Amino acid sequence: MYHERNYGLYIGGRWTWGTGSQKKGVLDPATGETIGHIPDATPEDIDQALAAAQAGFETWRKTPPWERAVKLRKVSDLLLERIDELCIVMATEAGKPLAEAKGEWLACAEQFEWYGEEAKRIFGQAYNGRDAATRMAVIYQPVGVVAAFSAWNFPALLPARKIAAALAAGCSVILKPAGETPASAAAILRACHEAGIPPGVVNMVTGNSARIAQQLIASPIVRKVSLTGSTPVGKQLLHLCADGVKKATMELGGHAPVLVFEDADVEAAAEACARGKFRNCGQVCASPSRFYVQDAAYDRFAKVFVDVAKQLKIGRFDQAGVTLGPMANARGLDHAKKLVADAVEKGAKLLTGGRVPVGFLRGYFYEPTVLGEVPDEARIMQDEPFSPIAPIARFKTLEEVIERANATPFGLTGYVFSRNLRTATLAAEALEVGMVGVNEVGIASAESPFGGIKESGMGREGGSIGIKDYLEAKFIKTRLI
């Protein structure tokens, strides 16, 4: 599918395979087979992308906001028109069930619709000076060329959050998508092209991530960096940003604590948490991933959770009734196996799963796994699992569970289940995270700010706040003469 769509590098408004001869294979995670190739961008290709983005910025920054809005809405419309085709593309390279792929493409289109409207609402301030002859104002201007790096777990939504916000603000973008899932990102750029986004405003390069990041961030042309990725990668890119004092948004790893109090609707909470946890085969940075259940509710919660896990059907997206696809790659599968082995060794009980499913000799499949009575010293309670493994532990008091929930360097999301307003409010306020769901696990949407604190990142994507990271505030003081 990569060759027939002419996916490769997108630079200055045209698709190209670049100046080099090196290419990288892309695998179907359900079979391990190569489904296509992407070019490995050379330093010359990167320089061309930088020059194109700079030229594109000079054009786009002068484009009136209402005109930008029309084009962004057109991108959204194009994505919706071809959503069935795009679901197959995403499911093939990312392993998602078709229903999950469709949900992601709908969310992707919403980002362009939302930010098309936000382009019209970049409001400054005007206020009175200290004397009759003084005027003071703050205006917002686009920061410049953006280097955007996205991960493979949401191959359309993650690029869309960056591209849509940047374009709404008047910036140009060079996107480096994940090597595992480039075709979904390329489909977005195809829609941008057909929507009339001028050449150079949106660009895409593929290849060696570390080398591309170093060259892009070192260039004085790039003034803003946006990454969705792991915490270690985020720290590396922040070091690179520091050398050039580049503005940065970092949406990094997470390990979301879930607090289930005995007064909650325990069965409903367990079902919601299980379905949220196993979405995208557990490869979601914001998903519920550490489950602390108050003693009186523990047995009921664990039973329902296990029942949901056992109902999931494992397979490739084109098989009937599949609700759980493969993990994205071999290293993730290996990580999952080690986490389970460590937890069991430290005293956790294996309630279900814990192995590669019978009959799946190819691909990166792993059974939905539930661990009970998991001690805090188990690696899975400290390390981001990013796999279909749910560890459940007990707690007694609010004060105790808050201390345990906050005892990791992560701070992306947290979840609270309680019918008691006081308990829910105090717990939500005490969790050291950027986002909290109360009796709810679906918290991401186009109009909501998405991001974390501590080592889960900085800045926000989405919502009215998200566009601010692509703008610079300028103060103007005028004396009338």
* Residue 413 belongs to domain with CATH number: 3.40.309.10
251 part of the active site: yes
Residue 471 · residue 130 · CB < 8 Å = no
For 219-260, what is each residue's pLDDT tens digit?
999 999 999 999 999 999 999 999 999 999 999 999 999 999
CATH classification at residue 121: 3.40.605.10
The whole-number average pLDDT for the span 362-373 is 97
Give 398's strand partners: none
User: What DSSP character marks residue 324?
Assistant: B
Could you say which of 285, 367, 384, 455 is catalytic?
A: 285
For 55-91, what is each residue's pLDDT tens digit?
999 999 999 999 999 999 999 999 999 999 999 999 9
What's the predicted TM-score (pTM) here? 0.95
Q: Looking at the 3D structure of the chain, how many domains does it have?
A: 2
3-class DSSP state of 25? strand
3-class DSSP state of 373? coil
388 and 438 together in one domain? yes
Classify strands 369-372 and 413-417 as parallel, antiparallel or unpaired.
unpaired
219 and 295 together in one domain? no
Tell me if 1 is assigned to some domain: no
285 part of the active site: yes
Tell me if 3 is assigned to some domain: no
261 and 188 together in one domain? no
Could you say which of 251, 367, 432, 455 is catalytic?
A: 251
281 and 200 together in one domain? no
260 and 370 together in one domain? yes
186 and 321 together in one domain? no
pLDDT computed for residue 21 by the predictor? 85
The whole-number average pLDDT for the span 426-447 is 96
Tell me if 2 is assigned to some domain: no
236 and 300 together in one domain? no
170 and 88 together in one domain? yes
46 and 187 together in one domain? yes
Tell me if 94 is assigned to some domain: yes
The whole-number average pLDDT for the span 297-301 is 98
For 3-22, what is each residue's pLDDT tens digit?
555 568 999 999 999 998 89
145 and 208 together in one domain? yes
61 and 106 together in one domain? yes
Full residue range of the structural domain in which residue 459 is found: 9-252+455-477
Tell me if 208 is assigned to some domain: yes
176 and 263 together in one domain? no
pLDDT computed for residue 75 by the predictor? 98
Q: Please report how the helices 157-169 and 65-81 are oriented relative to each other, as an axis angle in degrees rounded to 10.
A: 160
Structure-token pair, residue 446: 């186009």
Residue 120 · residue 66 · CB < 8 Å = yes
